[in-house]
A and B are shown apart, each in its own frame.
Chain A
Amino acid sequence: MKILIVDDFSTMRRIIKNLLRELGFNNTMEADDGSTALPMLKNGGFDFLVTDWNMPNMEGIDLLRAVRADPALKTLPVLMVTAEAKRDQIVEAAQAGVNGYIVKPFTAETLKEKIDKIFERLEA
């Protein structure tokens, strides 16, 4: 399972990377915004995307839309981990096809629960 972590704050990327490692996901890569993440995703090999929303150049919501619009990527599971807390935004992300939405600050348990739920659904 290869996972891409996208956040403009390197501290948050490290936290998510550590949490994923504790959950047994050792194969992770990082990108600092949507515009660097998208080419990495297009190069292939990723099974899961964890992305922030508020980032320079290309925001997480636009990355999500780009992923859903790409025939090779459209089924990639996407988990949003963001401080964006407006109801409209959560609805927007859901409509854009997000698989899970975690609002910051979050706990290790929340991350585990949402990832488990996403994979349960995919397998069902």
Chain B
Amino acid sequence: MDNDEESKAFELSLARQLVEHLEAGHGDQAAEVVRQLRIPYERELFEELGKLTRDLHEALNSFRGDSRLVELTRDEIPDAKERLNYVVTMTEQATHRTLNALDEGMPIAESLHARSLELTDTWNRFRQRELSVDEFREFARALDVFFAASGEETERLRSLMSEVMMAQDFQDLTGQIIRRVIRLVHEVEENLVGLIRLSSARMEPGKAAKQAASAKDAEPAGPQSHGPIVPNTRDTASNVVSGQDDVDDLLSSLGF
């Protein structure tokens, strides 16, 4: 209170001096009084500026400290593109594998169908006693050929269907890869939201940094599993097996 009144009295006396100097035409002395009047306001301004500078410094530091975004941009995004390309390749291969089996199987099924229709026709004529002896001999030979071929052909159809079934394993493998990319997109999103909070007009560096940290905590607690190995990504940098033979060798080295 006392301080306030004192400074008010001091400002008033300065103001009176200013008027006196101006009336007397003492420009230099008037300027000196104006400078003195400004001092307390300048101090406040500098303090505010200092606080802003500190906030900005802290914000930048906490952003720089969060190297996850750097890692995401440098390593994981290019890898994610590779992963999605690999998904395209795998689905393409699976589709060709399926269509190839169909291309081979369809004519077999059609031919089986046509030949059985033909034989049924002749059979009906035989039942109605319309077949000559020669025609019957011919029919018996045709049946022999058909029985032998149909066994082989239906077995081939069975194996083609099995091929179609195995080709569908792409859905599991690509699904795991896509889920991994979805997790990455989610993480990038969280980090960008943190970045936007950081740079918005109301700077709350502590809160933004905390937000980014909690986004990291929210990730499923670092699964031990990884999903399929994708070529041309950092997956291949770790020590991985190249197929079932590799697995068998490794397990037999462990006494399996």
Q: Which residue numbers of A lie inside 8 Å of B, CB to CB?
A: 7, 9, 11-12, 14-15, 18, 22, 53-56, 59-61, 82-92, 94, 101-108, 110
Contacts and interface: CB of A to CB of B under 8 A. Distances in A.
A14 B165 CA distance: 9
B172 A89 contact: no
10 contacts: A11-B168, A11-B172, A15-B165, A54-B223, A83-B173, A86-B238, A87-B240, A89-B224, A90-B241, A90-B247
Contact of B162 (A11, A22, A110): A22
Contacts of A7: 172
Given A53-B225, A86-B226, A94-B251, A12 B166 contact: no
Contacts of B224: 59, 61, 89, 92
A4 B165 CA distance: 20
A9 B166 contact: no
Given A18-B165, A59-B224, A94-B256, A102 B244 contact: yes
B176 A83 contact: yes
A26 B256 CA distance: 28
Interface residues of B, number: 29
A83 B224 CA distance: 13
B244 A110 contact: yes
B171 A11 contact: yes
Nearest to A84: B225
B175 interface: yes
A83 B172 CA distance: 9
Nearest to A91: B254
A86 B240 contact: yes
B227 A83 contact: yes
Contacts of A59: 223-225
Interface of B: 162, 165-166, 168-169, 171-173, 175-176, 220, 223-229, 238-241, 243-244, 247, 250-251, 254, 256
Given A84-B225, A104-B172, 5 more contacts: A9-B171, A54-B225, A83-B172, A83-B228, A87-B241
A7 B226 CA distance: 15
Of residues A14, A54, A56, which shows the largest number of chain B Cβ atoms within 10 Å of its Cβ? Answer: A54
Of residues B172, B223, B227, B251, which shows the largest number of chain A Cβ atoms within 10 Å of its Cβ? Answer: B172
B247 A104 contact: no
A84 B250 contact: no
B163 to A, nearest CB: 10
Contacts of B229: 83, 85
A94 B256 CA distance: 8
A26 to B, nearest CB: 17
Contact of A91 (B166, B173, B240, B250): B250
B168 A15 contact: yes
Report the 3 A-B pairs with minimum CB-CB distance, sorted nearest first: A54-B225, A12-B172, A9-B172
A104 B169 contact: yes
A105 B173 contact: yes
A97 B172 CA distance: 25
Contacts of A14: 168
